[in-house]
C-alpha cells in the first residue's frame, strides 16, 4: 500500500463518526480517531469539558494532547495491540488502538478521559500552568466531574472497542484492495491502446501514463471528450479542468503541433 494514503480515503469521516457516536452512547466514555501523528480526523465524541474546553483550548495544551495521542498510537502500532496509558496533559486514563491496513499504520482509535482516583489539587494546578490555562478554578471544577472508573472496568470497555477497531481496519483493507483492483483494470485498459494516455490533477501534476505515453517525449494534450484545451500543454489543459468537479481526468497525448485556441465570438 502507498504510505501516502489517508484513512479518510478508505472510510468516510461520516461513517467513522457514526461508529464512534454509537460506541460512546453505550459506554459513556470519550472517543476520537486520529491519524498516525495524533491529529484528529473525526469529531470528538462525548469529550469531557475538561479536555474540550481547557486542555485543548491553548496551543501548548493541544500540542500536548496530540503528542500524547501520537505516543500512545505509535506504541500500540509497534506492539500491534491496545495500549492503556495516562495522558501527557491532564493525567487522565486513556487507551489507544492502532488502525493498521496492509501493514501500514494509518490512524488510532483513542478512548478514555476517565480517572482511577482523584488527582491532587497541587498537581492539577501545575498542569494548568504548564499549558498556560488562565482559568484555574474552572479547570479544577471540571476535573472533579471526570468519571472515576476502575482499571478492570475500563479494560472491559476497551476490549469491546477492539472488535470495532478490527472491523474498521478490515473495512479499510477491503476498500484498498478494491481500489487496487480497479487501478489494475484501468491500467490494463489504457495500455491496450496505441495512443498515449496520461492522467493528471487540475494543477497539471502528472500521476500516471500508459506505455505509449512513456515513450513519447514531445506532443500536446487534448481531452478524451474532444474538447480543445484553452492553452497548449499540460498546464493549459489543467486550467481547463478547474471548473470540472472531478479532480482527476484522463486525456490523450497526440504527436505534432498543438491545436490553436479557438477565437471567441462576440
76 and 137, same domain (yes or no): yes
State the DSSP H helix or E strand holding residue 75, giving kind and residue range, or none if neither.
Answer: helix 59-79
Distance between CA atoms of residues 115 and 141, nearest Å: 15
Residue-wise DSSP of 203-216: T--EEEE-HHHHT-
Q: Are residues 157 and 44 in the same domain?
A: yes
**Which residues are registered as beta bridge partners of 112?**
30, 94
C-alpha cell at 124: 492539577
How does DSSP classify residue 52? I
Burial of residue 208 (number of CB atoms within 10 Å: 0-12, 13-18, 19+): middle
**What was the pLDDT predicted at 145?**
95
Same domain, yes or no, for 135 and 238? no
pLDDT recorded at residue 126: 96
Crossing angle of the two packed helices 151-190 and 13-27, in degrees rounded to 10: 160
Q: How many domains does the chain have?
A: 2
DSSP string, 107-169: EEEEEEEEBSSPPPHHHHHHHHHHTT-S-HHHHHHHHHTSPB--HHHHHHHHHHHHHHHHHHH
Place of cell 504510505: 3
How distant is the alpha carbon of residue 10 from its chain centre?
9
**Per-residue confidence (pLDDT) for residue 165, from 0 to 100:** 82
Which pLDDT value is given to residue 41?
92
One digit per residue, the tens of pLDDT, for the chain of length 266 reads: 444 568 888 888 998 999 899 889 988 899 999 988 888 999 999 999 999 999 999 999 999 999 998 888 889 989 988 999 999 999 999 999 988 887 888 889 999 999 999 999 999 999 999 999 999 999 999 999 999 999 999 998 888 888 888 788 777 777 777 766 666 666 676 677 666 666 665 555 655 666 665 554 444 444 433 343 333 344 444 434 443 334 334 444 444 444 444 454 44
User: Which domain range does residue 237 map to?
Assistant: 189-254
Nearest-angstrom CA–CA distance, 41 and 28: 21
Q: What is the pLDDT of residue 4?
A: 54
Cα–chain-centroid distance for residue 13?
8
Which grid coordinates belong to 56?
Answer: 485543548
- Which residues are paired to 35 by β-bridges? 107
63 inside domain: yes
HSE value, Cβ hemisphere, 13 Å, CA-based, for 33: 28
- Residue 94's nearest CA partner among 117, 113, 115, 77 is 113
pLDDT at 47: 94
Does pTM top 0.85 for this prediction? no
- Which of 178, 199, 232 is a domain's end point? 178
Same structural domain, 151 and 201: no
User: Would you state the cell numbers that stand for residue 193, as one nine-digit string?
Assistant: 491502446
In terms of DSSP bridges, do strands 104-114 and 30-35 run parallel, antiparallel, or are they unpaired?
antiparallel
Shared-domain flag, residues 114 and 228? no
- 144 and 48 together in one domain: yes
> How far apart are alpha carbons 133 and 246 in whole angstroms?
45
* Residue 111 and residue 14 share a domain: yes
Looking at the structure, do residues 227 and 168 belong to the same domain, yes or no? no
Domain shared by 171 and 56, yes or no: yes
Same domain, 207 and 116: no
160 and 244 both lie in a single domain: no
Whose CA is closest to 147, among 30, 55, 31, 33? 30
The pLDDT score that the predictor gives to residue 222 is 41
Is residue 194 located within the same domain as residue 160?
A: no
Q: What does the pLDDT read at residue 149?
A: 93
Amino acid at each position: 500500500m502507498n504510505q501516502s494514503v489517508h484513512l479518510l480515503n478508505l472510510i468516510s469521516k461520516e461513517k467513522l463518526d457514526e461508529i464512534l457516536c454509537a460506541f460512546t452512547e453505550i459506554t459513556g466514555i470519550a472517543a476520537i480517531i486520529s491519524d498516525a501523528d495524533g491529529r484528529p480526523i473525526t469529531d470528538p465524541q462525548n469529550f469531557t469539558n475538561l479536555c474540550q474546553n481547557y486542555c485543548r483550548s491553548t496551543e501548548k495544551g493541544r500540542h500536548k494532547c496530540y503528542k500524547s495521542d501520537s505516543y500512545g498510537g505509535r506504541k500500540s502500532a509497534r506492539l500491534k495491540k491496545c495500549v492503556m496509558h495516562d495522558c501527557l496533559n491532564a493525567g487522565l486514563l486513556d487507551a489507544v488502538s492502532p488502525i493498521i491496513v496492509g501493514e501500514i499504520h494509518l490512524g488510532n482509535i483513542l478512548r478514555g478521559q476517565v480517572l482511577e482516583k482523584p488527582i491532587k489539587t497541587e498537581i492539577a494546578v501545575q498542569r494548568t500552568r504548564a499549558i498556560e490555562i488562565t482559568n484555574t478554578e474552572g479547570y479544577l471544577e471540571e476535573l472533579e466531574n471526570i468519571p472515576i472508573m476502575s482499571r478492570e472496568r475500563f479494560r472491559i470497555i476497551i476490549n469491546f472497542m477492539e472488535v470495532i477497531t478490527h472491523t474498521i481496519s478490515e473495512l479499510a483493507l477491503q476498500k484498498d484492495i478494491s481500489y487496487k483492483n480497479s487501478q489494475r483494470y484501468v491500467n490494463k485498459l489504457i495500455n491496450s491502446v496505441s495512443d498515449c494516455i496520461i492522467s493528471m490533477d487540475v494543477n497539471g501534476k502528472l500521476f500516471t501514463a500508459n506505455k505509449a505515453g512513456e515513450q513519447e517525449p514531445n506532443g500536446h494534450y487534448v481531452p478524451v471528450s474532444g474538447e480543445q484545451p484553452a492553452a497548449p500543454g499540460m498546464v493549459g489543459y489543467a486550467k481547463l479542468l478547474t471548473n470540472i468537479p472531478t479532480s482527476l481526468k484522463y486525456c490523450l497525448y497526440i504527436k505534432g503541433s498543438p491545436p490553436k485556441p479557438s477565437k471567441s465570438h462576440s
